[in-house]
Amino acid sequence: METPSLVLGCPTGRTPLELYRQLVAAHRAGKVSFSKAQLFALDEYVGLEREDPGSFASYLERHLFRHVDLPQSGRHVFDGAADPLDACAAHDAALRGGFGLLLLGIGENGHVAFNEPGESLQVATHVVKLSRETRLANAGAFGGEAMRVPLEAMTIGMGAVLAAREIVLLATGEKKRRAVETMMNGTVSTRCPASLLQLHPRVTVLTDF
């Protein structure tokens, strides 16, 4: 309630589920209101309609949006079925003031949102080809079949990540230990996109290991 008009970046995946359960419970207990907040998805699969159960739009509806007092105008998800370049531009336009608080998860390969390791990283919201590891890691939402995980996604870029006023990164499970160690103690490198968080002045990392 301290910042009613918070612009909050919302990750998907298994890690934030408990946090979303707690936010919903806090809302039900009258401790948190989202009526003036702006909540943003960080990424989305290309080609999936918002209603597709595998989409991040439907994930955020299911686990958070529909259980709290967040108006439609505060729900910023990608339209996975739209032209991806238009959807990316629309997301950047809506997010032009930047995140007040950016919640992040981390991929086992060091990705944040869907900024995958590689030769380079991008500043703005963009389309990305998903790595094989990421499609395998996310197969759970597609009946365990990695082949069904879309090949491409849209993601906020590292510009929006580094421009966030505050970042909280959550990592749970031994499988994330190596990525978190590289993020915190490794060389800052596009090979581990999360390592760029070393350059940000206000990052909190919460882990269970």
According to the binding rule CB under 6 A, does residue 74 interact with ligand GLP?
A: no
First-to-last alpha carbon distance for the chain, in angstroms, is 30
- Rounded to the nearest 10 degrees, the angle between the axes of helix 17-28 and helix 56-63 is 40
Q: What are phi and psi of 169, to 5 degrees?
A: -105, 130
Is residue 43 annotated as part of the catalytic site, yes or no? yes
Binding mask 91-110 for ligand GLP (x = CB under 6 A): --------------xxx---
Residue 145 has a CB neighbour count (10 Å cut-off) of 10
Name the minimum Å distance from CB 177 to ligand GLP. Answer: 13
- Gyration radius of the chain over CA positions: 16
Window contacting ligand GLP (CB under 6 A); options: 9-17, 64-72, 73-81, 192-200: 9-17
**Candidate list 76, 91, 111, 126, residue with the active-site label:** 111
C-alpha closest to that of 100 among 4, 209, 197, 208:
4
Q: Which amino acid is at 132?
A: R
According to the binding rule CB under 6 A, does residue 58 interact with ligand GLP?
A: no
**Candidate list 79, 109, 115, 126, residue with the active-site label:** 109
Instruction: Considering only residues 123 through 162, tell me which ones interact with ligand GLP, judged by CB under 6 A.
Output: 134, 138
According to the binding rule CB under 6 A, does residue 15 interact with ligand GLP?
A: yes
113/167 with CB nearer ligand GLP: 113
CB 41 within 8 A of CB 56: yes
Catalytic residues: 43, 109, 111, 116
